[in-house]
Amino acid sequence: MRITTWNVNSIKQRLPHLLAFLEEARPDVVCLQELKCQDEAFPRAEVEAAGYAVETLGQKAYNGVALLVRKPLEIAPDSLRRGLPGDASDEQARYIEVLVTGTETRPVRVASIYLPNGNPVDSPKYPYKLAFLERLRLHARAIMADEIAVVLAGDYNVIPEPADAADPEAWRGDALFLPQSRAAFRVLLAEGYTDALRACDPRDGLYTFWDYQAGCWQRNAGIRIDHLLLSPQAADRLISASVQKHLRGLDKPSDHVPVTVELSAG
């Protein structure tokens, strides 16, 4: 089972790139972030025509997450969760989760996550980011209890280590790299989750995001902020993890690229 996470930075603008990727890579599950559209505006017909079931949690102009599941895999009935538990007042569209099942593979619970950026750090946005991370940690612990494989995939807006940035010093005061953000990410991992890409490839220079400004792509001045975290049951099935870096070189690309893990059927 191939599971991909991709912050598309506007599904309307990136739909041709997405459809081409679905045809080229044929991932089984795709976790999308930053749709920037409401549910009814998502190009459902085009994605379904490519062979995928679609679940979305949209929001006008901002945020938005989706899960695409390629047939013959299915979304288990009554497994859809729209929104992260722990704060009934949170109206931002940042979390969606389903249980993916199939006749030839053991089930996997998959979430698409768009974690808050948190900047500026002296505004309410940073406490919201840390609170979201804590809610995610508690939920991540809870859903491991049934011992079904879990994949928490998405744009975490966290640079875990200095090796995950081409120029760590440039990010010292940023919410993505503050000690509190990195510590919260480590605490999430300490619940028993594995950073899939790092488990497969410990090299420096693995980035998933290049800003549109200052020639970051041309200079390879990137950062790694898109992650797939695996529960122990999912980590036991891990075959490979990779970054589809070439998509950043397309015309009018997202500033993020897909990251994919492959799990055995179990």
Please write the tens of the pLDDT for every residue from 148-175: 999 999 999 999 999 999 999 999 999 9
Closest CA relative to residue 164, chosen from 235, 82, 86, 225: 225
**What is the reported pLDDT for 266?**
83
In the 8-state DSSP scheme, what is residue 209? B
Residue 220 CB partners (closer than 8 Å, separation 6+): 166, 205, 207, 210
User: What residue type is 90 in one-letter code?
Assistant: D
User: Token pair for residue 125?
Assistant: 């946005």
Question: Which residue reads 């549910």 in tokens?
Answer: 39
Residue ranges in the chain modelled with pLDDT below 50: none
Q: What is the CATH number for 76?
A: 3.60.10.10
**What span, in angstroms and rounded, lies between the C-alpha atoms of 9 and 12?**
9
**What span, in angstroms and rounded, lies between the C-alpha atoms of 206 and 220?**
10
Range of the domain at 30: 2-263
Long-range contacts (CB closer than 8 Å, 24 or more residues apart) made by 119-128? 119/174, 119/175, 119/176, 120/175, 121/173, 121/174, 121/175, 121/178, 125/175, 126/175, 126/178
Phi, psi of 233 (to 5 degrees): -65, -35
**What span, in angstroms and rounded, lies between the C-alpha atoms of 57 and 40?**
10
User: What residue type is 183 in one-letter code?
Assistant: A
Domain count, the chain: 1
**What is the reported pLDDT for 227?**
98
